[in-house]
Structure 1
Amino acid sequence: MRRPASQAVPAVLAACLLAGCSGTGPDTEPPPAPAGLTAQAGSSGSVHVMWDQARPADGVTGYQVFRDGQPVRDLPAEKHMTDIAGLTPQRAYSFSVRARDAAGNLSALAPAARVTMPAAAPEDRRPPGTPARLTARPTGPRTASLGWTPVTDDTGVTAYDVYQGGARIHTVDGLTTTTTVTGLRPDTVYTFTVRARDRADNSSPDSPAADVTTPRGSGDGAATSPADFRATAAPGTLELSWNAPDTGRPVGEYQLFVNGRMTTVVQWGKGAVPTGRAVYRLTVAEPAGTVWRLKLRARLPDGNWGSFSAERTVRLAG
């Protein structure tokens, strides 16, 4: 006997739910293979592998890194570089990477990057010289070009590491003294340093810092980052100064970040907001020699926080 339609409809809906019916069907399309894959020997036993970060539209949630066809790393989507250690000197290796999306779809493997490890260094505790004359300039709202003078080392420089805000973001080989940094944000101040590294994995001191302010993107308004930010330590105090961003109104509130964490809010009362250059003195109780990395950003007239200033590193005075 034929069932009434009222009984058949729930069965159809249940079958559709079990099959994943949604009008568009289940996601079976893999993300594109990662681009820009490079592998650079940082020492006789380690390799730095990096690639271009995926676009948000690609829906990538993670990456798998392969060495000679075998998986060696699983990384979240925000990571697009890793160091592989424990390698054999003077041996050749092949590295590749593939992307994974939220549905578990895997991209094709990126074209392999091959590297031959240098010979093992003799016992070496001496770091390379410090890279000098670091220059940096924006080449667009999201890119910057860096250059520095080469350095020497008794066992040979194998790599230069680029740092931003205390974090390594890029590595090039020991013969390269220029590079392009990508993935930046428009209307943002970045502070870069470079370190040289030798075959024994000794790293040089940081080069002098170089600031880059990326230009505004198409359709962006006025720049919102505090300019010419400076920090000077004296016994028990820290003096900060900067030029306020031009927001059309006086800026009377800033967030101050210390070592990457929001630490205090700098405020001036109505009628006391400085014009031109702002100066703020902070009492500190930390011991002399403590190193702080400082940056700040302004509260804009619309209530949002603007872009960060350059980051400054200061050693507290006794």
Structure 2
Amino acid sequence: MTPSQIVSALNSLISIRQPVFIWGAPGVGKSQIVAQVAEARGMALRDIRAVLLDPVDLRGLPRITDQGVAVWCPPAFLPTPSDPEEGIIFLDELNAAPPLVQAACYQLILDRAIGEYRLPDGWSIVAAGNREKDKAVSYRMPSALANRMVHLEFDANLDDWLSWAQGSGIRAEVCAFLRFRPRLLHDFDPLKAEKAFASPRSWEFVSRVLDAGPDADVEYELFQGTVGSAGAAEFMGFLSVWRELPTVDEVLAAPASAMVPLEPAALYAMCEALSLRASTETIEALTAYAERLPSEFGVLLMRDAVCQDTDLVQTEAFSRWAEKNAEVLM
């Protein structure tokens, strides 16, 4: 399932308080998706790393009442009636926890209770973990636990990742490169012994490395240590093209005469950079430049511009461009 499908499925399952397990390769963004769903629904989120728990941790500690009766005090990470009315208990890396810890989760997941503790009605349980075939640290999930949840397979998807990246400060050159080489969004082979590999998470790290402004003589080593040697080599080649392009300000100032790249990689890069500056003030210049691009790249530029600012479809400049390119858009 794509990330957007996972979001839709989670919204449906959370509404009926159905426990769910998200399976996916390392680095695809399972934890981030759960956090986004919780934020969008206005729900509290308790992120519990099951691998750090002991079997008795979920039960808590006993205390003696004034009547001499032992009662159990639940751990602070489990919600009580004094906490927000709605929330998500996220059991991350659940299948990396030892079997006894997984077994301790049985009652919480199925019965929404552990001993005397009862999970508040407005709270849901979501779990996630890596697949066994990914060679990550994991234990085979007991069938009794697996049968208590709905299971979703998470697959990386470039369009969904780019939609997220636009609003998350991911650098334009990283987005443009992945449009040009979509296979490298997630290039993970569990049979290889590489410590670093390309994934949605590691490309976010690449963007942060670029934000730090590293010296030119260490850029490749930093990228290699983030997305692996193959991804780093291709990205460095792309960066050399990117850095020779005219600036966005130059294009916006003279869209009729600014250089139009010939190489596909450079065209992807130019469209990505320009789309991030899309607004009602720049749409005239953007449409003028788009008309000089190969038709498929003109459409790419305008599509991304509209994603950046949906009000652009109401402008006269966009209407003129759409009319001229009606055949391509159909």
TM-score for the superposition, normalised by structure 1: 0.26
- Larger relative CO (CA 8 A, sep 6+): 1 or 2? 2
Q: As a proportion of its length, which structure holds more strand?
A: 1
Q: As a proportion of its length, which structure holds more helix?
A: 2
